[in-house]
Amino acid sequence: MVGGELVLAALVILLALLLTLVLSHFLPLLLNPKAPKGSFGWPLLGETLRFLRPHASNTLGSFLEDHCSRYGRVFKSHLFCTPTIVSCDQELNHFILQNEERLFQCSYPRPIHGILGKSSMLVVLGEDHKRLRNLALALVTSTKLKPSYLGDIEKIALNIVGSWYDMCKDKGRVNVIAFCEEARKFAFSVIVKQVLGLSPEEPVTAMILEDFLAFMKGLISFPLYIPGTPYAKAARERISSTVKGIIEERGNAGSSNKGDFLDVLLSSNELSDEEKVSFVLDSLLGGYETTSLLISMVVYFLGQSAQDLELVKSEHEGIRSKKEKGEFLSSEDYKKMEYTQHVINEALRCGNIVKFVHRKALKDVRYKEYLIPSGWKVLPVFSAVHLNPLLHGNAQQFQPCRWEGANQGTSKKFTPFGGGPRLCPGSELAKVEAAFFLHHLVLNYRWRIDGNDIPMAYPYVEFQRGLPIEIEPLCSGQLQPRTEVEGNSSWVAVAAGPPQRRRRSCLRRHHDRTPASSPPSCSPASSLLELAV
């Protein structure tokens, strides 16, 4: 009898819990009848799994396509265990971003706070965020066109690109590389050098990279804390310990005059020790993942468009032809890379490295015909604006020429790095690094991509197989080992004469697009400047 009563009590408790769960899930629908149309899906899970379903990054994915067609470009849903307003509308997205801390507030899932740390710029709010971002902007402004920074970028790019020549020589000119890995190697080497003053060959750099890869796996895991997942194994503490050691060593040694981010951080009295460590981790994260993905996207899309690759190559041949032998690229050279900037912008638009951001309504917000209830999560979806055919003609096609003329790079319909007070402070550095890397790539190699490996949104963007590409040195631009100094090779190639500028109308160039899979004849215009060891 007692056993039967216990079973009955357990059933009653279970039913009560289920009823509470169902009511808590659907109660916001009853309390907010004027919220945009939409659906909440299943209790607890809501529609999160459908929202996170992988899809090509240059498409909206089935979830957004279905909901936009059924409910319009602004709709309600239940995502990440929270009632949510999803905005695919250009004007509403801009309104949300511009009203940070007034009407809306950054609101990432709680597990993200755990892995990034409570002092991370991504999750801090109000005056704390403003203080950290102002410091980041000051560092970026003082760095982005500094000759020493540009020189470091170029030396690291030359080392990466030069290493491929040895592989091609050993394997009969043509070699297959996992390009995403090479791009990450380049981006990490640049940011570690700039932030911590560490060279790629130093043992501590390899140690930080190993822990950082584990950290990244945790960060991009599904946002629920499940022991045993990569998230639970994130290596933030080990990286923090290493960074603290470097900070203490630099502080004890006095002024290093390295001119890197760390020198500036140590001279600042505004940040606590914990904030300094978080600032370094934020810098590594932004400089590593965003930059490497951007470079991979550029190589992927150019690999499918021989016309655009030809125009980029012509532009860089023109820049190289005016340089002396052994002369590094300058800030003025970067400003001349106009079509390269169009390519970078278009790769960002099509690739959608940052698909959406997390915000929360601080109060009931009325915008046009929409009511956004207080406390609800708000997701401005940037990819939906980038791929809107009403805003971008032939939106799913890669057409860099669309950026010619009008200043679209700062418009409401292009937000690859967010917007408002939380606009990514290092976005321009990513573009500089991508442009300099591309300079040496197009002047010294031709490549063929595997069309089956496409960028996928999980929602984070990734090439499933690491973007394998076939590379082959150009006949007159192939890298030649020049000297051997302490085990490091220098690389040199002969600069060619001024090329003829090849331009065609945007419509004609993209009417019948030819994939860049069939390599052209050997080019006489490729070159590589001398790397000073």
What residues are designated binding site for heme? 424
User: Ramachandran region of residue 492, left (φ > 0), alpha (ψ -120 to 50) or beta?
Assistant: beta
CB of 466 closer than 8 Å to CB of 320: no
The span from the CA of 181 to the CA of 186, in Å, is 9
| CA separation, residue 259 to residues 156, 218, 364 (Å) | 18, 32, 47
The alpha carbon dihedral of 26, 28, 33, 37 has a sign of negative
> Could you give the 3-state DSSP secondary structure of residue 312?
helix
Question: Which has the closest alpha carbon to 240: 273, 268, 213?
Answer: 273
Backbone φ and ψ for 394, nearest 5 degrees, come out as 50, 55
Reported as type and span, the H/E element at residue 482 is strand 480-485
The span from the CA of 104 to the CA of 88, in Å, is 17
The span from the CA of 315 to the CA of 312, in Å, is 5
The alpha carbon dihedral of 379, 382, 384, 385 has a sign of positive
CB of 505 closer than 8 Å to CB of 402: no
Annotated binding site: 424
Backbone φ and ψ for 463, nearest 5 degrees, come out as -90, 120
